[in-house]
Amino acid sequence: MEQRSSTSGSQQGRPRKTVDNPYLGTEYSVQKNPGYRLRRTKREWKPLEDRSCTDLPWFLLFTVFCVGMGSICGFTIATGGAGRLVFGYDSYGNTCGQRNEQIEGVRLSGLDQTDKKYVFFLDPCNIDIVERKIKSMALCVSLCPDEELKTYQDLKRFAMHNGSELCSYELAGHKYPGLPERFDKCPKLPVPPSKSLPVFNRCTPVDISCYAKFAEAVVMFVSDNSVLHRLIGGVMASKEIIVGLCLLALVLSMILMVIIRYISAVLVWILTAMVVLGSLAGTSILWWMYIDRRLTANKTLSKETAETTETKDAKEEAGMTRDKAQVLLVYAIAATVFTVILLLLMLFMRKRVALTIALFHVAGKVFIHLPLLTLQPFCTFLALLLFWMYWGLVLLFLGTTGNPVQNEETGLTEFRLTGPLQYMTWYHAVGLIWISEFILACQQMTVAGAVVTYYYTRDKTRLPVTPILSSVLRLMRYHLGTVAKGSFIITLVKIPRLFLMYVHNQLKGKENACARCMLKTCICCLWCLEKCLNYLNQNAYAATAINSTSFCTSARDAFVILVENALRVAAINAVGDFVLFLGKILIVTSTAFAGVLLLNYQRDYAEWVLPLIIVCLFAFLVAHCFLSIFEIVVDVLFLCFAIDTKYNDGTPGKEFYMDKALMEFVENSRKLERVVERGRSRPTVSVEGPEMKPMAPGTSSA
């Protein structure tokens, strides 16, 4: 402040008032005469000091978009699409269990189906695998057949005794056996026994064997009905074991997060040594194979030269040996270059590996102080599951909403959206991506807010009672707009990638090699861009949690910090991600091993392979959810550490916020820098430079 006063007094004695804006990183100069002068100064980081709403227009836009999503659901309910889905409708457009209105141009529509509450399909096994729907004619009946009906006489007896006619409405039940239309408008014989679904009132065959063809389209390795039945039977017989193994994967994930804190140094260095030794061993083996192949080729060539008669087979064998030797030479050279680059990276980044170890150690302490972080994957998964269920239900509503249209191929009446209303499906699809990304971004912002609160609280005993709840409330009150904007940017990249993937699948086998290569290249580039934006968004959320700045400002500040620490970022992402990936593999393999031991009594391979696959997929999903939270914590800690070391030096008034483990890393780095500086200045004339002041006592234990 003294420097500002002297500066203001030097400008012709005109006093001025200064106001610091911690969000823009600027200083406003207010003078007595009219007008303001904006002067850019050094960016200031003031963690957790002030809060204000960020990106409010984007929050309003996201709110309007969600209202549009809700309006689609309301439209489907108001126009009867939801009712047709729940109660079912026949092939003439009549909703079962209700009194219907006549549809123009559709015969047998407008019937009173109050007493006929169930939908019966004449051929329930006639399934279109491409369209994933039943192509059979549907009727409203009062009762589903609970026993097998083998003849038309059985159909007549069922109609007479139960009052439920299973043939088309214009056919009389007592005339079924003698009607010529019975082959087209009566159910396919034999009629399997069926029962109604508890909610959707469809007559579903009790024996699911007729759906084996449809199951083959979903599960490719199912080749016959017997295998399908055995697989399902194995899952049902092992359901207790499956639940137990899933709980085991959950416990192992939580234990691993705690163990990483205590063995992070040993684990990281062991894995680093394994990578280096594996690379050296692989390179050595390739060179040995090349030398061995080369010697074999030379021996073959010398034998051919000594012999006067040379066969064609011997020439071809010698040529193939030389070609293989050349290929091995290329592989060996490439492996050598990779190994040299890897060794150089390890040499130059060894200090950054030590930083990764320190961050892993501190991340473990964060989970001890904030145990509710482990519940974040459950909360996020529950929110995503509820939204996906709602989205899928509304999508089904849309499938039965619209105007009645008669299918020219089958003659059945279907409901389709026409005109501008058909774009509601696309709107609904965009909502799936944006809102899903929004929920994931809320998790990242919540975790970042809790970790920032932990890092910038010097006395850990004075942490809020529930930092996670405080972070959630801060997110909902101030930063929903920032999360909406970040998730929208990811959506803009994901939609073209998914569209190109759809085009690629549709054109599979039809496009030429150049078009296929271009499509795959575009998909790969968009995927890489999406991953980079995800990483930048995560750090932008952390910067917003620190300083309460808008998304663009936070992304810019975070990008500057990451560029200034590019080598550290590379080391943390390379080493840290590799360690966490091996942790996921460890959890999956441990769960699979336990599953093999528990399922070993089922000697038939087909009976326990599907339960084991289900358990392994669940174990990987759980491990990914938990360790991804750990990864977010490490990334946020690094951003806080980089900001802390940039703007603080340990002197009074600029004390560090960092933990003791990170403080030790900083002290060791400073000692190494002093040794290097002394070695450089020894041959020259001694010139005293600015001495690095020691850190304030007591701050290293923060």
In terms of domains, do 408 and 352 share one? yes
Query: How confident is the model over 88-98, as a mean pLDDT?
Result: 87
Using only C-alpha atoms, the chain has a radius of gyration, in whole angstroms, of 35
Query: Quick one: 131 and 270 in the same domain?
Result: no
What's the pLDDT band for 56 if we cut at 50, 70, 90?
very high
Res. 687 pLDDT band, cuts 50 70 90: very low
Whether residue 240 sits in one domain with residue 94: no
For residues 235 and 520, the model is more confident at 520
- In this prediction, residues 30-34 reach a mean pLDDT of 40
Give me the pLDDT at residue 26, please. 37
Which of the listed residues 224, 259, 286 is the one where a domain comes to its end?
224
Same domain? For 334 and 477 the reply is yes
Highest mean pLDDT among 217-231, 252-266, 411-425, 490-504: 490-504
Residue 185 has pLDDT above 90, yes or no: no
Q: In this structure, are 299 and 197 located in the same domain? A: no
Enumerate the H helices of 151-224 as residue ranges: 152-162, 182-185, 212-218
Same domain as 208, residue 254: no
Give the mean pLDDT of 84-94: 85
The answer on 348 and 216 residing in a single domain is: no
- pLDDT interval class at 475 (50, 70, 90): very high
The answer to whether 27 touches 39, Cβ cutoff 8 Å, is yes
Tell me if 7 is assigned to some domain: no
Q: Which of 442-456, 575-589, 629-643 has the lowest mean pLDDT?
A: 575-589
11 part of a folded domain: no
Domain of 283 in residue numbering reads as: 228-678
Q: Compute the average pLDDT of residues 555-574.
A: 84
Does the pLDDT at position 1 exceed 50?
Answer: no
Indicate if 400 and 417 belong to the same structural domain. yes
Mean pLDDT lowest among 54-68, 199-213, 499-513, 679-693: 679-693
In a shared domain, residues 374 and 322: yes
Would residue 377 count as lying in a domain? yes
User: Residues, the chain, total?
Assistant: 702
pLDDT of 651 > 90? The answer is no
Say if 66 falls within a structural domain.
no
How far is CA 104 from each of CA 92, 372, 400, 412, rounded to the nearest angstrom?
11, 60, 18, 15
Q: How confident is the model at residue 236 (pLDDT cuts 50, 70, 90)?
A: low
Whole-model pTM above 0.75? no
Highest mean predicted confidence (pLDDT) among 235-249, 292-306, 323-337, 364-378: 364-378
Task: Examine the domain organization and report whether 277 and 358 are in the same domain.
Answer: yes
Closest CA to 275 of 51, 611, 574, 689: 574
User: Which tokens hold the place of 5?
Assistant: 């006063």
The C-alpha atoms of residue 682 and residue 144 are separated, in whole angstroms, by: 97
Of 224, 245, 267, which closes a domain? 224
Return the top range by mean pLDDT from 54-68, 242-256, 412-426, 555-569. Answer: 54-68
How does residue 673 score in pLDDT terms, banded at 50, 70 and 90?
Answer: low
How far, in Å, are 77, 140, 171, 528 from residue 168 at the CA level? 29, 9, 6, 56
Domain contains 380: yes
Average pLDDT over residues 269-288: 78
Mean pLDDT, the chain, whole residue set = 76
Boundary of a domain, candidates 198, 224, 250: 224
User: What value, to the nearest 5°, has the Cα angle with vertex 467 and ends 465 and 469?
Assistant: 95
Asked if residue 210 and residue 278 are part of one domain, the reply reads no
Please tell me the total count of domains within the chain.
2
Residue 114 lies in a domain: yes
Whether 641 maps to a domain, the answer reads yes
The percentage of residues in the chain with a pLDDT greater than 70, rounded to a whole number, is 74
Highest mean pLDDT among 61-75, 202-216, 398-412, 649-663: 61-75
Please compute the mean of the pLDDT values over residues 628-632 and round it to a whole number.
Answer: 87
Q: Which of 559, 556, 538, 569 is nearest to 636 (CA)?
A: 538
pLDDT beyond 50 at 222 = no
Output the six-digit token pair for 120.
């019966």
Structural domain includes residue 176: yes
Same domain, 496 and 596: yes
